[in-house]
């Protein structure tokens, strides 16, 4: 399979960026993950076919990219007054005039950011992003610590990072990566993603045996997975 990022410009002037995924499949399909469009096509699909397929679904893409961005819950502007979701709870970014710095913290549904008169928007964005990443590392590490012991499955390495088109990955060497953005969802969602990737240490595919193992440790995986995914398949 081959994947790379590219874009097209539609007849009405819209620029649509996407990850193109060529593979062994009969039909083209669209999927949206974390505000990014993924276009899955047969290995032999030519550029004109791909362009036409995307153009025909441009309205669906535009609508669901907006829906996915809202669904992800994470900040878009990282600005004072913006509301976002972390660990399944909505909080409002709130600038607090302070003579002395304090780390970002949540109080009464607000993420408090210490600012002074010379603070710029870049500072606010860095503070909010730092808080989100630190929270993600802490929660994912705790989830993995607990679940590896419960499942008796231990990866060679665990990395928390920004993944372009998935919530997690597990490779043949037993290395697992978890998308830090999953921290916008509840702890149950984080557990599901960790269980999913740990299960790949036993089954590298998505066979019935794989899903049976996932269900053993996450009985509600179908509902959780559905709440994190927006997709459309072309039959």
Residue 24 has pLDDT above 60, yes or no: yes
Q: What distance in Å separates the CA atoms of residue 224 and residue 98, rounded to the nearest whole number?
A: 40
pLDDT tens sequence across 181-213: 999 999 999 999 999 999 999 999 989 999 999
- pLDDT of 230: 44
Question: Model pTM?
Answer: 0.71
Question: Two tokens at 27?
Answer: 């039909």
- Average the pLDDT over 39-52 and give the result: 94
- Could you please state the CATH topology (level 3) that the domain comprising 134-227 is classified under: Zincin-like (3.30.2010)
Helices 47-56 and 58-72 cross at an angle (nearest 10°) of 70
Helix (H) or strand (E) holding 62: helix 58-72
Q: Where are the domains of the chain?
A: 2-72, 83-132, 134-227
- The answer for residues whose C-beta is within 8 angstroms of residue 176's C-beta and 6 or more apart is 144, 155, 157, 158, 159, 168, 169, 170, 197, 198, 200, 201
- Which helix (H) or strand (E) segment holds residue 111: the answer is strand 110-115
């Amino acid at each position: 399979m081959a994947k790379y990022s590219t874009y097209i410009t539609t007849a009405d002037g819209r620029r649509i960026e996407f990850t193109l995924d060529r593979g062994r499949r009969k039909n083209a399909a669209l999927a949206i993950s974390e505000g990014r469009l993924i276009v899955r096509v047969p290995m032999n699909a030519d550029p004109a076919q791909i362009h036409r397929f995307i153009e025909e679904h441009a309205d669906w893409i535009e609508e669901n990219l907006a829906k996915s961005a809202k669904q992800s819950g994470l900040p878009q502007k990282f600005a004072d007054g913006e509301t976002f979701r972390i660990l399944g709870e909505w909080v409002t970014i709130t600038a607090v005039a302070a003579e002395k710095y304090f780390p970002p913290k949540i109080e009464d549904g607000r993420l408090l950011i210490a600012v002074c008169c010379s603070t710029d928007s870049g500072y606010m964005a860095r503070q909010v992003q730092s808080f989100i990443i630190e929270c993600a590392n802490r929660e994912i590490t705790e989830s993995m610590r607990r679940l590896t012991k419960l499942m008796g499955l231990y990866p060679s390495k665990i990395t928390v990072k920004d993944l372009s088109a998935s919530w997690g990955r597990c490779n043949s060497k037993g290395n697992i990566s978890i998308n830090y953005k999953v921290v916008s969802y509840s702890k149950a969602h984080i557990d599901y993603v960790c269980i999913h990737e740990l299960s790949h240490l036993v089954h590298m595919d998505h066979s019935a045996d794989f899903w049976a193992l996932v269900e053993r440790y996450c009985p509600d995986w179908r509902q959780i997975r559905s709440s994190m995914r927006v997709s459309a398949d072309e039959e």
